Structure formats: structure tokens, C-alpha cells
Chains A and B, each alone.
Chain A
Amino acid sequence: MNEELSEDQTTDELVTQVHQKLVEKLSNENKRLNESEERFRLISEQSLLAINIVQEGKIVYVNEAWESLTGFSIEEMKDWEPYHFVGMTHPDDRERLVEQLKKKQGGMDGYSLNNQYRFFNRSGELKWISIYSKTISYMGGPADLATCIDITEQKKAERSLQESEERLRAVFNSAEDAIFLKDMECRYTQVNPAMEKLLGLPSEQIIGKREVEVMPESVAQRVREEDAKVLEGASVDEESYLEFNGSRRYFHNLKVPLTNEEGEVIGLCGVSRDVTLRKTAALAKEKQLRTEAENSAKTEFLARVSHELRTPLNAIIGYSEMLLEDAEEEGADRYSGDLRKILDAGDHLLGLINDILDMSKVESGSMDLFIEKVSIEEVIEEVVSIIKPLVQKNENQFEVISELPTGLEMSVDRTKLRQVLLNLLSNASKFTRKGTVTLKVEELKEGSSPEIKFSVRDEGIGIDQSKMTKIFQRFTQADEDTTLKFGGTGLGLPITKAFLEMMGGSIEVISEIGKGSAFEVTLPREFLTPEKKSKS
């Protein structure tokens, strides 16, 4: 202030000026004081914090926020003791509050009451508050200034967050898929029970470990490479497999980076689903399709080959037959024996080609059935007329016994039934000399649906007991000498059996060495499609 006075001013002037300055200063200070009070009033009244002051055991001040929090006005609360609030507090929190108040009263100067309590306001609403109290000097004496914040919404949010976390944890714990979290160093930070089961380790032995410590190196290497990609922000969605005790298990692995709010990668989350069942089913299906494709290619190839083989065979059979006819007409007997041999060999070759084609069709599942109503008598007549010369060739008697009512029909694949009977009868004729070959047909009515039984009996060499099942296997005859002596492909009986099974029938054999064999074929009179069968 002195600097402001110039040297040549008079004392009067100086006094006046000083007075003026003092007045000015005082009025400024008054103003400043009023401003400060105003500021405090505004802050206190506009504050979201509820404020009260307790002095000498009585409430002396509350702000508007305190009023609206409790639902009581300042007039109502004036002169309340702090204990008054205990009655409004949630029963579970009362004891704690009382204890705190006692400590405060017990002269623990400067003690801070800083805690969270639940209390019911005037309208019975439950409020969560966080309260902070401090001893201050007020109006020349000590007082308690309590500031209090309504944290009800925050508590609700915390509760719902907790519930949501509990739900997520339940999912995490009960998931069948293995779920895991890893940090930036690729250490497991969290694993669920399915992951423990997958690795065969309790979580304590997994948490904090790297992949290489919990799985075989071969797998760990792949996992490591995947993790590195994921931590760079990529995601992994692929199938892999693990070998467990020699058996392979397939997994569908999903890995995504975990990020914080700023979008920085802070780790990764992975889910591994065991898809072994689905995968093995898919692989089996794939294999089946491949096999089917291979089979159909094989069948097509065989059909073509058989066509190519038959064309020249046509010429061999046709020309030798023609020459044989010529030779017989012209009485050139010296050629007919040889021509007959060529013709027989041609016929034999044709039989082989047909058998191989049939067998391969049966095996690849491409043999079709043509079921129709046929007169059994007609089929028998047809078969008998074809086979008669062959039966009689070895000086055999041929006996045909039919015990069927006249005109009886059955639904069957005519060509296949004929082939079955011709095969059995030609076998019987081949292995019998100077004996009797019998074909007997009868109807069986004992079962739920009528059946037709065809029996072919011979008095041939018979089949050894130990070879009974072998004769129905492909490319095997009862013994190798038989093939040398009697010829044949060894496919006749397997084809017969396969045809019968396709038509819902069966074949059985009874035989005695040296006495002969009996083949008994049973077929349903009404052919049942697989759907009809499953219904009945």
C-alpha cells in the first residue's frame, strides 16, 4: 500500500487515503466472506452428497440431499440424536452401526466412521449408503461432520453383475466343452472341469502352466503356433485330433483373442469340443461312399470286361456249333468229337464269366431283384427240360416229385430261382454216377407265412462234415482234387446262397461221405420287402 503513496502528498491527504483504503479493504473482505458463505451454501445444498453436522449429541445441520435421502425434513430431524438412525437401519447392520457410534462417543478423537450400511427411509425403501464422518471444529466447538452417499444403484448393479457372473460360472463349470483362458505369456489362467478332464489334471496343476507342461510336445507345438496367431489378433476355428492310449479323438477348437476396453489383446479364450462321435460317423460315411463308388466302378468294369469276353466267345461257340451241325449232317464223325470239345470248353468258359460277373454284382450290392408271380410248376418244367440231358449223362435216374397243389404260384425272381435249381441239379449230376438224382418240391405251412421247399438229393460222393461250411465260401470247393476232377469255379454255391438270401430264403445241406448229399432250399411263398418285414 505504501508504494502507492507519492512523496509530496500531505498528512491529511495521507490519512484520508489510508481510511479510504481501509474502508475499501474491509468492504472487500466482507464481500469475500459473504462469497465464501454463499459458495458453501450452494455447494452444500446442490451437492449429491448428503451432509449433516452433529454437535453435543444433536443434529444441528442437514443439507437437502440428506433430507431427500431419509425422507425427513430438517425441522423434523433437528435435535435428533445419531442413535435415532439405528432404528431405521437394516437389522443385520444395526450392531455394526452401534459399535461404530460407541467408539466415536468413547472419545476416539478424529475417528472416522467410514462404512456401508442399509437403512429404510421414511417410505420404507431400502437404501444402501456409504458414510464418512470426521470430527471438525464448528461454531467454536467440536462437531461431527458426516457425509453420506446413496450407493443403492451401485449395489444393485454389483448384485446383478454378481448374478450374471454366477450364471456364467455355472455354464463354464457345467459345459461339456473344455474352456480355458490364457494370458499374454500363454499361461493358463482359468480352466473349467471339462478341460481338467481332457488334460487329466486338476486345475491347480494347469493354472500358471504353459501348454508344453500339460500336453505332449507334438500337440503342444501346434497349440503354441495357434496361440501365437491368436495373440496377434487372429481367431482359430479348426478341427484337430489327439491320440489317447492309441485311440484317436477329434476336437473342434475355437480360439479368440481377449481384449481390454482399449482394444488391446490381453490374452485368449479357447473352447475345445470333442467331436469324435460325429467325426468317426462322417469318416465312416465317407469310407462307405468311397467303397460304394469303387464297387460300382468295379461292377461297371466287370460288365464291360464280360461283354468283351463274350463277344469272341460268341464266335467260338457259334462257329463250333455250326461246324458240329455240318459235321453231323454230312456224317463227318471224325470231326465231331473235337468240335464237341471246343463247344464244351466254350460253354464252360461262358459259365465262368457269368459266375464271376454274378458274384461281383452280389458283392458290390448291385445285383437287382425282379420279383414276379410265377407258376412253380412252370419253373420246374423249364428247369427239368434243361437239366435232363446232363443228369442222364452219367447214367443217372432223374426223379421229380411235386407235392404242390396244381397251379400254385409264388412271388420270386424267376431267373434267380431257375439258376439256383440248375446249379444244385448240375452239381448233383456231376458228382453222381449210376445213381438217382431227385428234385422234390413241397409247401411248408407250419410257420406264420407259407414257404416253398425245394430239395435236391443225389447219391454221389458226399461231403465231409468238416467241409460243410466251406462249400458256401467263395472260390473254395470241398477240396482241391474235386476241382481237378469235376471242374467248376467254386462260385456256384456261394452265388446260390447269396441269391436265396436276397429273396429271403435259406439253404441247408445234409451229407454223408460215399452215400450222397441233400441240399434243401426254403423260400417264402410271398416275397417280403424289407419294409414289410420290419412291420410284421
Chain B
Amino acid sequence: MKKILLIEDNEMNRDMLSRRLERKGFDVLLAEDGAEGLARILSDAPDLVLLDLSLPVLDGFEVLKRVRKDPESKSVPVIVLTAHAMENDRDKSIEMGADDFDTKPIDLPRLLGKMRALLAD
């Protein structure tokens, strides 16, 4: 079972997405802020990270930067999720080392397509 880490501060979004992903057969780990997320990436070695951009403590960009700097975590696939739907967020995320980008509200089939493509690599 693939281990997915969902870093998301909004409780409803976290609950909803984690339940839907679990029903699709993923093992979903949760983190509520950037610092917790970074710690879980290192301790639990997830197969893929779903990272929200606007997070407390450490924001998504900062998490991304540190993940890519650490040799232990630098190759973990990361999909950035944001509600802003700002085009430059997407560009900036990809530039900083995200593997893919998706906007909220989550279109589950689309997100699953992106996740499967990265997990299959």
C-alpha cells in the first residue's frame, strides 16, 4: 500500500481528501502545518507528498525548499495543492522542485491521474 503524506491545515479539506484517498486504497498520513509535515517526511518516508501552500509555522514553499535540500528527502515526489489558483504559484512551485501542481477544489480523478503517474515512475 502506497504511503501518502497530506500536509494541509484546513481540517475539513484534510478529512475529506484523506477519506477519499483511503477509499482508493492509499495509506494516508496527516500533518497540520509545515514543520510537522517536514518532520513526517523524514521520519515516515512517504511514497508521495501532497503539499498545501498556505500553511502555518512553515509555508509550503519553505517546506518544499527544505525537502529538496535534504539528501534523505530530496527525491520524494511532491504535488503542490493550492486554493489560490494563481498561475505564478504553479510556476514558482515547479521552479522550486515540485513534481506537479493542482488546484482546489480537488477534482479527484484528475489528482489521482497525477499521483499515479508519479508513483509509477
A and B from one complex: yes
CB-CB < 8 A to B86: which residues of A?
303
- A319 vs B19: C-alpha distance when bound (angstroms): 10
When the two chains form their complex, are residues B83 and A314 in contact, meaning their CB atoms are under 8 A apart? yes
Known: A311-B13, A322-B19. A350 touches B84 (CB 8 A): no
Chain A, residue nearest B106 (CB):
A318
- A321 vs B88: C-alpha distance when bound (angstroms): 29
The tally of residues in B whose CB lies under 8 Å from a CB in A reads 19
17 intermolecular pairs with C-beta atoms under 8 Å apart:
A303-B84, A303-B86, A306-B85, A307-B84, A310-B104, A310-B105, A311-B12, A311-B13, A312-B12, A314-B13, A314-B105, A318-B20, A318-B105, A318-B106, A322-B19, A350-B105, A415-B87
Chain A, residue nearest B91 (CB):
A370
Asked if A315 is an interface residue, CB under 8 A from chain B, the answer is yes
- A357 vs B12: C-alpha distance when bound (angstroms): 24
For residue B89, give the distance in angstroms from its CB to the closest CB of chain A. Answer: 11
Chain B, residue nearest A415 (CB):
B87
Asked if A313 is an interface residue, CB under 8 A from chain B, the answer is yes
Asked if B57 is an interface residue, CB under 8 A from chain A, the answer is no
For residue A326, give the distance in angstroms from its CB to the closest CB of chain B. Answer: 9
When the two chains form their complex, are residues A317 and B84 in contact, meaning their CB atoms are under 8 A apart? no
When the two chains form their complex, are residues A313 and B105 in contact, meaning their CB atoms are under 8 A apart? yes
Asked if A354 is an interface residue, CB under 8 A from chain B, the answer is yes
Chain B, residue nearest A318 (CB):
B16
Chain B, residue nearest A368 (CB):
B87
- A325 vs B19: C-alpha distance when bound (angstroms): 12
Q: Which of A's residues lie within 8 Å of B, judged by CB?
A: 303, 306-307, 310-315, 317-319, 321-322, 325, 346, 350, 354, 357, 368, 370, 415
Interface class of chain B by DSSP: helix
- Name 15 extra pairs, CB < 8 A, besides A315-B13, A318-B20, A354-B85: A306-B85, A310-B105, A311-B13, A314-B10, A317-B105, A318-B16, A318-B17, A319-B12, A319-B16, A325-B20, A346-B105, A368-B88, A370-B87, A370-B91, A415-B87
- A161 vs B33: C-alpha distance when bound (angstroms): 86
Give the tally of cross-chain contacts (CB within 8 A): 52
Chain A, residue nearest B10 (CB):
A311
Q: Mark B9-49, 1 if CB is under 8 A from A, else 0.
A: 01011001101100100000000000000000000000000
Asked if B108 is an interface residue, CB under 8 A from chain A, the answer is yes
Q: Mark B41-82, 1 if CB is under 8 A from A, else 0.
A: 000000000000000000000000000000000000000000
Question: Which 6 pairs show the lowest CB-CB distances between chains A and B?
Answer: A318-B16, A315-B12, A314-B105, A317-B105, A310-B83, A314-B104
Interface class of chain A by DSSP: helix
Known: A322-B19, A322-B20. A314 touches B12 (CB 8 A): yes
For residue A254, give the distance in angstroms from its CB to the closest CB of chain B. Answer: 50
Chain A, residue nearest B19 (CB):
A322
CB-CB < 8 A to A368: which residues of B?
87-88
Chain B, residue nearest A319 (CB):
B16
CB-CB < 8 A to A315: which residues of B?
12-13, 16
For residue A113, give the distance in angstroms from its CB to the closest CB of chain B. Answer: 99
When the two chains form their complex, are residues B91 and A321 in contact, meaning their CB atoms are under 8 A apart? no
- A313 vs B108: C-alpha distance when bound (angstroms): 15
For residue B1, give the distance in angstroms from its CB to the closest CB of chain A. Answer: 20
- A318 vs B20: C-alpha distance when bound (angstroms): 9
CB-CB < 8 A to A313: which residues of B?
105
- A318 vs B106: C-alpha distance when bound (angstroms): 7
The residues in B between 90 and 121 inclusive whose CB is less than 8 angstroms from any CB of A are 91, 104-106, 108
When the two chains form their complex, are residues B106 and A311 in contact, meaning their CB atoms are under 8 A apart? no
